[in-house]
Amino acid sequence: MKRESLHQKTFTRRAIMLGGLQVGLMSVLAGRLYYLQVVQSDRYSLQSDENRINMRLLAPRRGRILDRFGVELAGNQQNFRVVLIAEQAEDVEETLAALERIIPLTAYEKSKVLREVARRRSFVPVTVAENLSWDEFARINVNSPDLPGLQPEIGESRFYPMGEPFSHVVGYISAVAVGDLTGDPVLELPGYKIGKNGIEKSREESLRGTAGVSRVEVNAFGRVIRELARNEGDPGEDIQLTLDAELQRFVWRRLGEESASAALIDIHSGDVLSLVSSPGFDPQAFTVGLTGAEWRSLTQDRRNPLLNKAIGGQYPPGSTFKLVVALAALETGVISPDHKVTCTGKIEFGNRTFHCWKRIGHGRLDLLSAIQQSCDIYFYDIALKVGVDRIAAMAERLGLGATTGIGLLGEKPGLIPTKAWKQASIGEAWRKSETMIAGIGQGFVLTTALQLAVMTARIANGGSAVQPQIVAPVADQERAPAPSLGISRAAINIVLEGMNRVSNSPRGTGFRARIEDADFALAGKSGTSQVRRISKAERETRVLRNDERAWVERDHALFVAYAPVKKPRYAAAVIVEHGGSGSGVAAPIVRDILFEVQRLAADRAARNPLAGTVTENSASEGSDG
């Protein structure tokens, strides 16, 4: 009995211990279940949602680029496209082959997609095709179940309604290159494009905006079921320019097929009303993507359509530079306005002969007559008296030899030589004969069309250091008056009168390109810069005319002017590359530009008297001059 009682007690004790252990384990399990299901329910619910909810960046709407009156120069339009997410595709090449049966895809396009897939992370979408027609887009949507990894999307693409006339200023956008990645995740969005030239490039950050976010529910295959929430982000800022679209198109047409550049500015505010480089290019082609043939056509064209010649083309200014030499001579007191020189058509200096563009010479001239008839011999004489360093100082005050700071990429400073510059750059001492050559705007001297327009504006406004600007200031922003250059008004008035005689007196080099309406009359200065040296043998026989030479050996044609003479308001400069005579080719273009800007201002003022004017914003040889 005792043995059975002892055995029963032992069994009971073990049963109790086992039961207690079971109760304890059940309690722990119940507590854990309570903790997971009640206490941590929000956390695991969120994790569950995150497994089926994707956060996707949305490309911000790019800001527009407008002219001074609000005319759209760059905007956005609807873009049907299809993207590929590599990790959702069973076989990328098979998927592309299936897509090719629905819409045309070139071998280049397919290889480009494969390169992008290899370069990017597998979950980052890659643009396969864009700017699709509605029919193409619809066919892709209908066949989407058989196109794993492909997603049709409706986005936006850049649109340039004005095309070539604005190509260099407005610029274009193109695909993001590896070197463009800065850490901003929006740059990795499929098909995202950024500014590569012009205002699109220089104002990229303002135009871009900030990305938005879309929360979408996806199934186990990653296909979107529905959009749960959307934040569009902040669109880019609109950028308003000082350009006048109507004037810009007019100047573009007037330059025609020439390789040329033109700049037109308000001499008081510095607003750039037109800035044209011809030929141009189609900015839309860069947005869509250039073919190899299109790229070769642009890069092999001898007229260099990709270069913005108005700010990046550097040319000898020829006789337009005589305005600088005249002011330097007057300001330094080296000569008086009645200083006279006899021109016989040539002058001996050392062992060299320097020629005037007029073979038989101009006779005896004073300063005004020398400007009027663009006598090279006269300016050889006064350049030697002034010296190259003082000529350079005046040129710099007038805006030459340095970038203007207009805010466009590719601007070149030109070159205004000095004694120190030559010693430092070439390692040789300056020669007086080089001063003579610089005195007629040749030799080392280089300028751009915009710089020449600024030079003309600073003379025409009486000597104020106006700075060109192409982005319009904020509406409420007050403009500080331009500081004085410190040039005497008497000296400026003499040069202005010389320019008036160039255009409005019968013996002036620009007389044939005058504006006959006295209210619109212009005053200017012609220039013809040589690109080759005329040999002695050629001078003894006959110097070939420009039209008898190969295009690349023809002179550059230049003309600068302001208008109207009675109350100056506008300044213009035109450079026609290998155009020939400045007075015969460039001067008529400037005449037409200055007439048109005044005509437009008068017409607009007549239609809306409260609107005001168009500029208000809501070598070593002589040249023919």
**Residues 274 and 243: beta-carbon distance below 8 Å:** yes
Answer whether residue 1 shows pLDDT above 70. Answer: no
Which tens digit of pLDDT belongs to each residue from 141-166? 888 888 888 888 877 789 999 999 99
Top pLDDT among 382 and 177 is at 382
For the chain, how far is it from start to end, CA to CA, in angstroms? 141
Task: Please report which confidence band the pLDDT of residue 525 belongs to, taking 50, 70 and 90 as the band edges.
Answer: very high
Answer whether residue 621 shows pLDDT above 50. Answer: no
Domains and CATH numbers, the chain: 55-240 (3.90.1310.10), 245-292+305-611 (3.40.710.10)
Which tens digit of pLDDT belongs to each residue from 164-214? 999 999 999 998 887 888 778 788 777 788 999 999 999 999 999 888 887
Taking alpha carbons only, the member of 503, 513, 530 closest to residue 376 is 530
Taking alpha carbons only, the member of 380, 323, 377 closest to residue 524 is 323
**Residues 390 and 435: beta-carbon distance below 8 Å:** no
Q: Going by DSSP bridges, is the β-strand pair 65-66/239-240 parallel, antiparallel, or unpaired? A: parallel
d(C-alpha 175, C-alpha 177), whole Å:
6
Orientation angle between helical segments 322-331 and 388-397, nearest 10 degrees: 110
The predicted pLDDT at position 180 comes to 83
Cα-trace Rg, the chain: 36
d(C-alpha 597, C-alpha 348), whole Å:
45
Residue-wise DSSP of 1-41 = -HHHHHHHHHHHHHHHHHHHHHHHHHHHHHHHHHIIIIITH
Phi-psi region of 491 (alpha: psi -120 to 50; beta: other; left: phi over 0): alpha
* Dihedral sign of CA atoms 235, 241, 244, 248 in order: negative
d(C-alpha 329, C-alpha 333), whole Å:
6
The predicted pLDDT at position 39 comes to 63
Answer whether residue 56 shows pLDDT above 80. Answer: no
Taking alpha carbons only, the member of 589, 12, 497 closest to residue 261 is 589
- Beta carbons within 8 Å of 284's beta carbon, 6+ residues apart: 158, 159, 160, 163, 172
Taking alpha carbons only, the member of 454, 453, 432 closest to residue 443 is 432
Which tens digit of pLDDT belongs to each residue from 358-368? 989 999 999 99
Tell me how many degrees the CA angle 473-474-475 measures, rounded to the nearest 5: 110
Tell me how many degrees the CA angle 156-195-310 measures, rounded to the nearest 5: 130
The predicted pLDDT at position 27 comes to 75
Taking alpha carbons only, the member of 214, 211, 442 closest to residue 315 is 442
DSSP 315: B
Q: The tokens of 335 are what?
A: 């000569």
Is it true that the peptide bond before 337 is cis, omega within 30 degrees of 0? no
Mean pLDDT estimate for the chain: 87
**Rounded to the nearest 5°, which phi and psi values hold at 384?**
-65, -35
Answer whether residue 222 shows pLDDT above 60. Answer: no
Q: The tokens of 336 are what?
A: 């008086």
- Beta carbons within 8 Å of 388's beta carbon, 6+ residues apart: 417, 418, 419, 430, 434, 435, 438
Which tens digit of pLDDT belongs to each residue from 87-126? 888 788 888 888 888 888 888 788 888 888 887 777 778 8
Which amino acid is located at 502 in the chain?
Answer: V
**Under DSSP, is residue 353 helix (H, G, I), strand (E, B) or coil?**
strand
Q: Going by DSSP bridges, is the β-strand pair 352-355/363-365 parallel, antiparallel, or unpaired? A: unpaired
**Residues 517 and 560: beta-carbon distance below 8 Å:** no
Q: The tokens of 86 are what?
A: 């590599």
**Rounded to the nearest 5°, which phi and psi values hold at 600?**
-60, -40
**Residues 524 and 510: beta-carbon distance below 8 Å:** yes
The predicted pLDDT at position 258 comes to 94
Q: The tokens of 380 are what?
A: 């050889």
Q: How far is CA 342 from the centre of its chain?
A: 47
Distances (CA, A) of 514 to 178, 245, 250: 54, 25, 19
Distances (CA, A) of 369 to 292, 359, 363, 508: 55, 17, 10, 9
Distances (CA, A) of 389 to 241, 383, 386, 397, 406: 37, 10, 8, 13, 27
The predicted pLDDT at position 40 comes to 62
The predicted pLDDT at position 305 comes to 94
Which tens digit of pLDDT belongs to each residue from 270-297? 999 999 999 999 998 888 777 788 889 9
Answer whether residue 131 shows pLDDT above 90. Answer: no
Indicate the helix (H) or strand (E) that contains 254.
helix 245-255
Taking alpha carbons only, the member of 597, 559, 470, 551 closest to residue 168 is 470
Task: Please report which confidence band the pLDDT of residue 550 belongs to, taking 50, 70 and 90 as the band edges.
Answer: confident
Residue pointed to by tokens 């070139």: 106
**Under DSSP, is residue 79 helix (H, G, I), strand (E, B) or coil?**
strand
Residue-wise DSSP of 527-543 = EEE-SSPPPHHHHHS-P
**Residues 173 and 286: beta-carbon distance below 8 Å:** yes
Top pLDDT among 278 and 233 is at 278
